């Protein structure tokens, strides 16, 4: 079966290209604050020190 014959199975919703999930960078900022100069989200504890895992 050719691809053109299966077009009725494809999602043709005009909004299909829109993201359905929150932007990952936004979520990381909410959890850990702004990234450092290297772009790493490190998180800080209540004393301003880097959190430990």
pLDDT of residue 42: 85
Residue 2 lies in a domain: no
44 contacts: CB under 8 Å, gap ≥ 6: 32, 33, 50, 51
Residue 33 lies in a domain: yes
Residue 27 lies in a domain: yes
Residue 29 lies in a domain: yes
Q: What is the pLDDT along the chain (53 residues), one digit of tens a residue?
A: 788 888 888 777 777 777 777 888 888 888 888 888 988 888 876 565 666 54
Residue 8 lies in a domain: no
pLDDT of residue 46: 56
Range of the domain at 28: 21-53
For the entire predicted model, the pTM comes to: 0.46
d(CA 13, CA 26): 26
- Number of domains making up the chain: 1
Q: Are 51 and 44 in contact (CB under 8 A)?
A: yes
Residue 37 lies in a domain: yes
């Amino acid at each position: 079966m050719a691809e053109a014959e299966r077009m009725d199975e494809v999602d043709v919703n005009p909004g299909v290209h829109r993201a359905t999930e929150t932007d990952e960078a936004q979520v990381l900022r909410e959890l850990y604050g702004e990234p450092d100069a290297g772009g790493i989200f490190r998180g800080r504890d209540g004393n301003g020190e880097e959190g430990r895992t």
